[in-house]
Amino acid sequence: MIMKVARYTCLLMLTVACSTGVATDEQTTKCTLHFSTGQILTNVPVAETQMEQERGLSKTHDVSRGMLFIWPQAAMRVFWMRDTWMPLQVGFFDSSGNLFQIEDMEPNTDTLHESKQAANMALELASGQYQAMGFVAGKTVLLRGQCN
């Protein structure tokens, strides 16, 4: 099943600027993400298809931009680190953009990292990046507009 980026407007109405760029041999949507902390992440790739979501940031040493996962409906989500060479963190966001959980994930493991509630979005970042940017579960909000 192909997962498409849902058009969606947050209640807080900040916009995210999205552009389409080329990564390797395929088209990849990239977004600029604005957070309630004032932090901005630019050119974050979006995992849109099931294949992109399953691959995530595996088999790469460059996880500097992270990866955004967006689903049209909230559900319980599960991440793992098979064939992922770098330690990562995954943050889970609800339908209002609230960060409700951050999970540390060790490289090359099959440990399942499950959301504790239904999530519409998840953001994988390099290990320690959530803390470095001052993101805190329960206090940080991902403010975004539309991604095309």
Give me the CATH number covering residue 94.
Answer: 2.60.120.1140
Judge contact between 57 and 40, C-beta under 8 A.
Answer: no
Q: Is residue 146 a part of any domain in this protein? A: no
**Is residue 136 domain-resident?**
yes
- Beta-carbon contacts of residue 100 (< 8 Å; ≥ 6 apart): 92, 93, 94, 115, 116, 117, 119, 137, 138
Q: Is 9's pLDDT higher than 70?
A: no
Dihedral through CA 7, CA 13, CA 19, CA 23, nearest 10? -80
Nearest to 121 by CA among 83, 95, 89, 86: 95
In a domain? residue 147: no
Q: Is residue 114 part of a domain?
A: yes
Residue 131 covered by a domain:
yes
Q: Give phi and psi for 136, each to the nearest 5.
A: -130, 130
Residue 9 lies in a domain: no
pLDDT for residue 74 is more than 50: yes
Q: What is the extent of the structural domain holding 108? A: 46-140
For the chain, the average pLDDT equals 82
Q: Supply the pTM of this predicted model.
A: 0.80
Q: Count of domains in the chain?
A: 1
Look up residue 119 and give its two tokens: 């999530």
Q: Does residue 92 belong to any structural domain of this protein? A: yes
- The per-residue pLDDT for range 122-132, each reduced to its tens digit, is 999 999 999 99
What span, in angstroms and rounded, lies between the C-alpha atoms of 80 and 106? 9
Residue 5 inside a domain? The answer is: no
**pLDDT (tens digit per residue) in 88-99:** 999 999 999 999
